Structure 1
């Protein structure tokens, strides 16, 4: 842990007093060198999803005021950790933030932005395929953050959802709206065939085995190209910040129409241990670092 000067809000920015920041596999990937960071970093700060209160407001900033509760996503794919969310205070562009509804506490809110937006945007790729009503979709990694939101959103969208769950998570995944829960160890070639797979793990070729001819496979990280013989459309969904969408998803969580879960909270000072727990696997829900 390092003491740095408190940031100041620039034009169109606010300083957020962080109360909770979600620990994502992407944070771990950055600190272990799996995400290319460019020649000027490190040092950098991990952390995409933040929740807290506005501590100060910069010039020409009208949308938010001091004391407002906010949740948001630092677009880490552009900031590369300058700034990042693992801090007591962050100078954030207003466009990164939305108001936090009453009744939704900081810790749960911090699990929403990256995971829910990725799920929604990936399913938008599926919807463009104009599948018939009631088509089957397989969600891999449905026990996780992105997969859990994808399961809920797909069920709400009228798909018949087959969801792959880790051992012991079957009941949770069923509660998210899955019509059928598939074991993590199942041979996906024997599942379906389904019109689409939302590959949140991702599994790549193993997930493609469940897709019907001329179906669609959406992955959340780059995977090797699949054999094109069956005409399967392969899509990659990388997160992009959409403030309007984020506000809607946060409202749905606050209203109970979407569910999220937290495995544990840990103080910011124990961030390194939190990363070790993510690497070890087996978490049921997200780890969230709390500040103050």
Structure 2
């Protein structure tokens, strides 16, 4: 099918390893939809700490050598369809997660047009805007899969779970999933974000500066920041801890099960989570939208912290 785009395609590449200054706006070749792919006209791409880490080389499996495109989560419209692709048609609204841990920036989401495998994408309901949708895939799937690692089926109904970083994307979704599953959620909030976190269903909200050992013992910890030893101090002996990045080993004598959550793309789960956000049964938030061409400034804002929601880059 003939593409419905023409002219130059803008993207943002990491031209070297380093801080935000290494991000450069550049012109990219028009992408083509290969068999099993679609070309997405990107309307929104979420800026994650993982994107910032990619430009400094501080990522699992070692640094990616520039130039490369950052960007995991995209939302937009189908602009072209590969010859054997039947899941989508031109004009369909879609949201998805580029499995950056596999693509390593070829492709990434920081571009106006992206050739994406159809398996990376799910339909975007009409009631959900592009910017909000782009905050869902990586954050919500990480939270959902991380809670599965906590062996919630082994916990008693009403067991207490501590969620660190509940003001953030992953922690915010984790707090919601745990509360909706019937557990007592103790959630750590950034200053000024207590009401938002309480609105996610948390039963108790503690400050960012709280001594977490004093809020325990809890049966499980979802350490979304992660804080490592400070969060592990709250879990009871023979409890469960899940972190989103490697942290120091917990004293084996305590018998605590310690797991590392590494994201995996689950298309069925992603579709369900997007539907739940569209229906209002899961909450997410956008702090600010910025043009794609201001990606370097977006990274600076993420590094500065203090945001109430995600930074999203937009096009068009």
User: TM-score normalised to the size of structure 1?
Assistant: 0.98
Aligned-CA RMSD value: 1.1
Q: What's the CA shift for 1:34?
A: 1.0
Q: What's the CA shift for 1:226?
A: 1.5
* Aligned residue among 143, 150, 175 for 1:119: 143
* Aligned residue among 162, 182, 192 for 2:216: 192
Partner of 1:218: 242
User: TM-score normalised to the size of structure 2?
Assistant: 0.91
Partner of 2:70: 46
Partner of 1:274: 298
Q: Which runs of 5+ in 1 are unaligned?
A: none
Is 1:99 aligned to 2:99, yes or no?
A: no
Partner of 2:105: 81
Q: What's the CA shift for 1:126?
A: 1.6
Partner of 2:258: 234
Following the alignment from structure 1 to structure 2, what is the Cα–Cα distance between the partners of residues 39 and 248?
33
Q: Cα deviation per residue 1:164-222 (whole Å; 9 max; x = unaligned)?
A: 00000000000000000011101111112000000000011111100001000000111
Following the alignment from structure 1 to structure 2, what is the Cα–Cα distance between the partners of residues 37 and 86?
21
Partner of 2:312: 288
CA contact under 8 A between 1:30 and 1:36: conserved in structure 2? no
**Structure 1 runs (4+) greater than 6 angstroms displaced:** 37-40
Partner of 2:86: 62
* Aligned residue among 185, 188, 199 for 1:164: 188
Question: Judging changes above 3 Å, is the alpha-carbon distance between structure 1 residues 222 and 36 closer, same or farther for their aligned structure 2 residues?
Answer: closer
* Secondary structure of residue in 2 paired with 1:249: helix
Count of aligned residue pairs for this structure pair: 292
Q: Cα deviation per residue 1:253-280 (whole Å; 9 max; x = unaligned)?
A: 0000000010000000000000011111
CA contact under 8 A between 1:7 and 1:89: conserved in structure 2? yes
The answer to which of 56-65 and 35-44 deviates more is 35-44
Is 1:263 aligned to 2:282, yes or no?
A: no
* Aligned residue among 102, 105, 108 for 2:132: 108
CA contact under 8 A between 2:225 and 2:244: conserved in structure 1? yes
Following the alignment from structure 2 to structure 1, what is the Cα–Cα distance between the partners of residues 242 and 182?
18
Q: What's the CA shift for 1:227?
A: 1.3
Q: Cα deviation per residue 1:100-156 (whole Å; 9 max; x = unaligned)?
A: 011101000000000000000011112355101110000000000000000001000
* Secondary structure of residue in 2 paired with 1:2: strand
CA contact under 8 A between 2:64 and 2:104: conserved in structure 1? no
Partner of 1:250: 274
